[in-house]
Amino acid sequence: MLPVWFGSQGASISAWRLIASLWITSTRPEGSVVGNNPTNLIDPLGLQTQVPNSATPFTNHNIPHYNCLAWGIGINSHWIQPSDPNASPNTVFPVFGCKKIPCDQTTNCKKRVKVAVYEDSGNPDNWHVQRQTCDGTWTSKNGQSFRYNDIADPDAFYNQHYPPSGTVHKTCWSCPATPPTTMPKNPKVTIAP
């Protein structure tokens, strides 16, 4: 049974907030935690209508609001992108302690994870990031859309979900397996909650 606090005005607002938050997280489609998907603690009611500091609308209010670049680094609480809209997403990774590696190189996934960045030479806005998991498959968070796990072929996944109009350039990174607990401050990177 949940404790209820009573004061001069009856049950406290805090108790009702607790009950409401428990009900919300237990009735939302993703629950409080499903697989690697935590609920969105920044907007637990799903009332945000657009990406913070952007005119980009959210397409599904029940999906946590982080993008592929953030998920590639292992962050599921922020939207991360280059500050310069013309910059490559590869400019962000060194800020988070990632090191460029050959794409055929393996990593010790307990210490460092392998991340692949796909860029379309025909459309500089058509880029995507995927992260390899310890079982050898890949995981991807498609912008404002869903997150995918157990991707066997990350190249085919990019071509299917982000059809390129030019040549695809793939860059791989070795990033710390444990994401930072505080977000770095760097003028090259925009980090939105």
- The two structure tokens encoding residue 125: 């806005």
pLDDT tens per residue across all 193 residues of the chain: 444 444 444 444 555 454 544 444 444 343 443 333 334 444 444 555 554 554 444 444 455 689 999 999 999 889 999 999 999 999 999 999 999 999 999 999 999 999 999 999 999 999 999 999 999 999 999 888 888 899 999 999 999 999 999 999 999 999 999 988 899 999 999 998 7
Rounded-to-integer distance, Cα 142 and Cα 68, Å: 6
The C-alpha atoms of residue 90 and residue 8 are separated, in whole angstroms, by: 57
Q: Are 100 and 114 in contact (CB under 8 A)?
A: no
- CB–CB of 25/39 below 8 Å? yes
SS (H, E, C) the chain: CCCCCEECCEECHHHHHHHHHHHHHHHCCCCCEECCEECCCCCCCCCCCECCCCCCECCCCCCCCCCHHHHHHCCCCCEEEECCCCCCHHHCHHHHCCEEECCCCCCCCCCEEEEEEEEECCEEEEEEEEEECCCCCEEEECCCCCEEEEECCHHHHHHHHCCCCCCEEEEEEEEECCCCCCCCCCCCEEEEC
| Cross-strand pairs, 123 | 120
What pLDDT score was predicted for residue 65?
80
